[in-house]
Amino acid sequence: MEITHIEHIGIAVKSIEESLPYWEGVLGLKCYAVEEVKDQKVKTAFFMVGQTKIELLESTDPEGPIGKFIEKKGEGIHHIAFATKNIEGALEEAASKGIQLIDKSPRLGAEGLHIAFLHPKSTGGVLTELCENKQK
């Protein structure tokens, strides 16, 4: 596949609001967008760091994926997202090389990106997201 850069790093937090003093107050980053992704049961907050973003993920439902993650593992790094060209082709290639896919075809994520996750069982424990910005 053709990965161009790290699009974002997803970090699970209990509360975006309570996380801001660190990300803004200490690191000096600026939150430029807050968006709710209903089908993922999360609220997201974005910070730009060069061409990479930090995506804070706050659960809106304890039964959602981030709610369950925090209950099991606590706050912390949740996933790494790579920007790729031709996400459909990238998924096909991953599947053909024995990688277990969480999303067999891309779906719409935050910021209108087309995204798909690879299962951490196949990636050395790193929940991996592929994303493609088709608006560019």
Residues that bind Zn ion (CB under 5 A): 10, 81, 129
Q: Which is nearer to Zn ion, 25 or 136 (CB)?
A: 136
Nearest Cα to 95, choosing from 105, 84, 109?
A: 105
C-beta of 109: minimal distance to Zn ion in Å?
Answer: 6
C-beta of 5: minimal distance to Zn ion in Å?
Answer: 14
C-beta of 132: minimal distance to Zn ion in Å?
Answer: 13
Q: Which is nearer to Zn ion, 27 or 77 (CB)?
A: 77
Q: Which is nearer to Zn ion, 24 or 103 (CB)?
A: 103
Structure-token pair, residue 116: 């798909």
Which strands, in side-by-side order, build the sheet including 76-84? Answer: 31-37, 42-49, 52-59, 3-13, 76-84, 128-132, 114-118, 107-108
129: β partners? 81, 117
